[in-house]
Structure 1
Amino acid sequence: MRKREILPSNDLLFKKLFASPKNRHILIGFIHDMIGLNVVDVIIENPYNIRTFKVTEDQQEFLETEVDVLARLDDGSLVTIELQVRREAHFIERSLHYLSEKYVSNYARRDLEKLKDDIKEDKYGSLRPVYGINIVYFDLFKEDDKAYHRFTMYDVKNKIELKNEDGLPLLSVVYFDLTKPRDTLEGEMPYWYDYLKSNKKVKEAPEYLQDAYKVTSYENLEMEEREMLDAVERARSKLDAQMLYAEEEGRKRGEREGLEQGLEQGLEQGLEQGLEQGLERGLERGIKQTKIDTAKKMLKMGMKVEEIHAVTDLSVEEIEKLK
């Protein structure tokens, strides 16, 4: 078998790494390093299963690079982990929506109301902290060069963080930016940076991270996993090629339209403006058509309008018309 180097950012590898019950110690170490929680144990609420990755050839075109992992800690708190490789419109808004949705989902859960003996049964007592960890492979905050950001609810005037009776922030979101300098990180985070960005193995990394290297090593995968991983890689390459082709065709069309418009105006200024406007229009048309074609195929696959909107960024009204 040939040896392959595939980054942990691959959908299947990432899910196997953080959502496999047998790898809970790796997840616990990651949570501790990212948000400083001393976790005793976790329950993975969306556990990894290779069969969930089995898709048809058509579906492979639309495999997203984002992966959500949902884990419940021993105190009832929830941790979400999301991987985002490509820049996406309203990504921050979506990450906060997901965080808030998980927070509200605990409301009135009787098993969570009784977590502490000194707390009487109360529907609001079931609202446990939710922590969101987002790993991004694009420049999210252009205004600074820090690779790690953590946000909570905070009184900016009096410098007081909003916490529950246990002294924990109710909502906390982390953005781990792998495009920013490594030397801005502290603790064990530089080792995670090396691993997630380039699959770099560091001897000084903690033991649970050494185990992570083994879990995502291509030669340690099962045959079914290797086959699915190869299929996902092919699908991603195909989608990238289609988008590149659409952009190139849009650029060519824009140049032609711009030249025609500029010649009609007969002025040097008009030519320059026409080229610019035509190029922009052509690019927009090429990308728009690719999104429409993608949405049509997703509709044939029976996917929901909301899911198609999230992938293609077409409006709900546009998708309904296509439907």
Structure 2
Amino acid sequence: KFRGFTLAFGKERKNLTLNFLNSILNKDEDSYFVDINFLDKERLPDIETGKVPELDILAKLNDGTLINVEIQVTKQEYFSKRSLYYWSRLYAYQLNKGQNYDELKQTITINLLNFNYLPYETCHNSYHVYNDKTQDILIDDLELHFIELNKFKLSDIRKLRQAENWIAYFSPKCTDEQREAIAMNNPVIKEALNYEMVFSQDEIKRRQYEIQEKAIRDYNSTILYNRQEGLKEGLEKGLKEGLKKGAEDKAIEIALKMLENGSDVNFIADVTGLSVEKINEIKK
């Protein structure tokens, strides 16, 4: 089962967020991030549409580093472009009129993907700006991480690095029993699991989370079904029309259910693929 990212992190659990970031970014004792300030995501709208990007974490660290972490549950063909676009928006957002370029700080994006995307067997891949010949880094301001949770392979729990402990925590490849085994020797993972247990006992929060999870599963199932039906027909026109019509009808149906249960409009847009304008139209 895919783990809800916001169950583990947030303003009330800075220590977990910092541990996750320091682990994934492989920070040593001299470069540890020691504090984090969560930023308002409304401050980073899309220039053309005004839509706020669905960043699960948008924050500034104690040394000025900006970071965004995003969970992506549905596969997108051009996700690398999307990730770079939002990175560039965050990087440019730092400067106000009249400020100098030397005030720009390192900006890091971490993508947790619930699907396979890159053509590598490793589950964690990172990217920087290198010289093609010497491999020297031009500037460390750009750093992109892609963590493909379905590629994670758990071997010996006792030999896991801290970054691997976190990837295991979120990976659908790990069972609850394996997570509990990891938590026995890892206080921060244990704390995350304990909070998740408290969350699961809160009927209202749990119900809302289950509705959102079901909406995501229904949407993915609809896309898969329509694709299979289109292939059976063997007609390109039928495939395109069937996918578009069927997916849109199902997306509207899912959006209505999520609206009835009080889900956020931007979250619904991210899950269903419908525009915020369309969802607001349905809402009326």
TM > 0.5 fold call = yes
Equivalent position SS for 2:56: strand
Partner of 1:231: 208
CA distance in 2, matches of 1:215, 1:35: 24
CA RMSD of aligned residues (A): 4.3
Partner of 2:189: 209
Partner of 1:179: 150
- Deviation of residue 281 (structure 1)? 5.0
- Deviation of residue 226 (structure 1)? 3.3
1:133-161 C-alpha deviation (Å, 9 max, x unpaired): 111111011x2211000111111222111
Larger-Rg structure: 1
Equivalent position SS for 1:87: coil
Matches within 5 A, 1:76-91: 76-91=64-79
1:100-148 C-alpha deviation (Å, 9 max, x unpaired): 11111111499xxxxxxxxxxx62232111111111111011x221100
Partner of 1:34: 24
1:27-63 C-alpha deviation (Å, 9 max, x unpaired): 111111111231121112249xxxxxxxxxxxxxxxx
* Cα 1:101/1:230, change in 2 over 3 Å: same
Equivalent position SS for 2:9: helix
* Cα 1:16/1:211, change in 2 over 3 Å: same
Structure 1: which 5+ runs fail to align? 1-5, 48-65, 111-121, 164-168, 259-272
Question: Number of residues paired by the alignment?
Answer: 256
Matches within 5 A, 1:111-190: 123-141=100-118, 143-163=119-139, 169-182=140-153, 187-190=161-164
* Runs of 4+ off more than 6 Å: 249-255, 292-299, 306-309, 314-319
CA distance in 1, matches of 2:278, 2:267: 13
* Cα 1:243/1:311, change in 2 over 3 Å: closer
1:238-263 C-alpha deviation (Å, 9 max, x unpaired): 564466468657866986xx5xxxxx
* Cα 1:182/1:126, change in 2 over 3 Å: same
Under a length normalisation based on structure 2, what TM-score does the superposition of the two structures give?
A: 0.70
Partner of 2:51: none
Percent sequence identity over aligned pairs: 23
CA distance in 1, matches of 2:89, 2:229: 44
Equivalent position SS for 2:87: helix
CA distance in 2, matches of 1:94, 1:222: 33
| 1:254–1:280 CA contact under 8 A, matched in 2 | no
CA distance in 2, matches of 1:308, 1:32: 31
Under a length normalisation based on structure 1, what TM-score does the superposition of the two structures give?
A: 0.63
CA distance in 2, matches of 1:297, 1:240: 13
| 2:121–2:151 CA contact under 8 A, matched in 1 | yes
CA distance in 1, matches of 2:19, 2:243: 45
